[in-house]
Amino acid sequence: MAKIALITGITGQDGAYLAEFLLKRGYQVHGLKRRSSLFNTDRIDHLYQDPHEVNRQFTLHYGDLTDATNLIRIVQETQPDEIYNLAAQSHVKVSFDTPEYTANADGLGTLRLLEAIRLLGLGDKCRFYQAATSELYGLVQEVPQNEHTPFYPRSPYAVAKLYAYWITVNYREAYRLYACNGILFNHESPVRGETFVTRKITRAVARIALGLQDKLFLGNLSAQRDWGHAKDYVEAMWLMLQQEIPEDFVVATGITTTVRDFVRMSFAELGIAVEFSGKGELEKGVVIDADEARLTELGIPAANIKYGQTVVKVDPAYFRPTEVDLLIGDATKAQQKLGWQPKYDLNALVQDMVHSDLHFMRKEAYLKSGGFQSLNYFE
């Protein structure tokens, strides 16, 4: 019998990679998707199966983590062997604007799912994965951070995730549920949401190179993150649910990099050298060199890259009221107990993202150079 997985947050970055991963392993995958006024299934459209097909492996259900009755019904209908709770208002900065909603979806949403398992008597059958986060560490207590490092959350998002972390531990201890927290450090990919810093950078780098935009505004350039690839990290999620005993694991690469260096690396991938100068709000990134052979090889018109051009400026609007300055994870436990090893290093991640955005942005450049104009429906 094929195993059944229910993924909340299936339309998000991790949901899409995990669905792909589980389908390849023969799982029947059910996903919880929110209703939205526009299509929100771009990342999983390639997995879609017509509802009229028999023996479907992939099924979507409308639902929301803020709606307990709907979660109970979907868990009852799907009878999952594994639930991956990936749904969340996942943007740290946005959580300062929507703190109550974030607490409801990210904190109480986790409780609602755990209660659904308990109330339906699925405790012996159903394993539960909670998407915990390195944001729990917040204000630096020690580095590298591991499963024993104390938490000090620094945003409404992280505080909501702290509740979710402990309620998962509590249900494991109180009701003997097989429930695990994956304390995942930042992980990115070509399908990362466009407002997270890495994707914002790689998109802008591609657009600047193709002459579609001239500069990029960022916030805190000195923040340091331990960035891995989402493709590697969804494997760790699955491994956590395949063990004899449920436990919590840190998943990270162990290497940290500043936002500033991520910018430099992304431009360098296209042969463009950028140097930063100035401090705080006045810091800027300027083009100091360009490798014309590399630009030609990539089909980027050299005329688009101007020496001395300011390509990065700081906009304090992107600063956070309280920041997490430094994250470096120690994934020794995951390596030893799960046998998990990331395949992508930071260079490979940057390459994957920059080239994907370059490919994607060419479409816009072609349309623009061909004279295509969108219709204005509102005139």
Give catalytic status of residue 133 as yes or no: yes
Q: Would you state the structure tokens that stand for residue 131, as one six-digit string?
A: 């998407």
* Binding-site partner at residue 89 among ligand NDP, ligand GDR, none, CB < 5 to 8 Å by type: ligand NDP
Site map for ligand NDP, 83-122, x if CB under 6 A? ---xxxxx--------------x-----------------
**Cβ atoms within 10 A of the Cβ of 167, count?**
20
Give catalytic status of residue 66 as yes or no: no
Contacts of 164 (CB under 8 A, 6+ apart): 85, 106, 107, 109, 110, 111, 130, 132
CA atoms within 13 A on the CB side of 50: 3
8 binds ligand GDR (CB under 6 A): no
* Binding-site partner at residue 320 among ligand NDP, ligand GDR, none, CB < 5 to 8 Å by type: ligand GDR
Say if CB 19 and CB 47 are below 8 A apart. Answer: yes
226 binds ligand NDP (CB under 6 A): no
Determine how β-strand 82-85 pairs with β-strand 4-8. parallel
Determine how β-strand 284-290 pairs with β-strand 272-277. antiparallel
Site map for ligand NDP, 39-58, x if CB under 6 A? -x------------------
179 binds ligand GDR (CB under 6 A): no
* Binding-site partner at residue 172 among ligand NDP, ligand GDR, none, CB < 5 to 8 Å by type: none
Catalytic residue (choose from 157, 165, 233, 344): 157
133 binds ligand NDP (CB under 6 A): yes
Say if CB 270 and CB 305 are below 8 A apart. Answer: no
Report in angstroms the alpha-carbon separations of 352 from 79, 122, 185, 348: 37, 40, 19, 6
Closest approach of Cβ 326 to ligand NDP, in Å?
A: 16
Give catalytic status of residue 135 as yes or no: yes
Q: Which residues are catalytic?
A: 133, 135, 157
Binding site for ligand GDR (CB under 6 A): 90, 92-93, 133-135, 185-186, 195-197, 200, 218-220, 223, 225, 259, 318, 320, 323-324
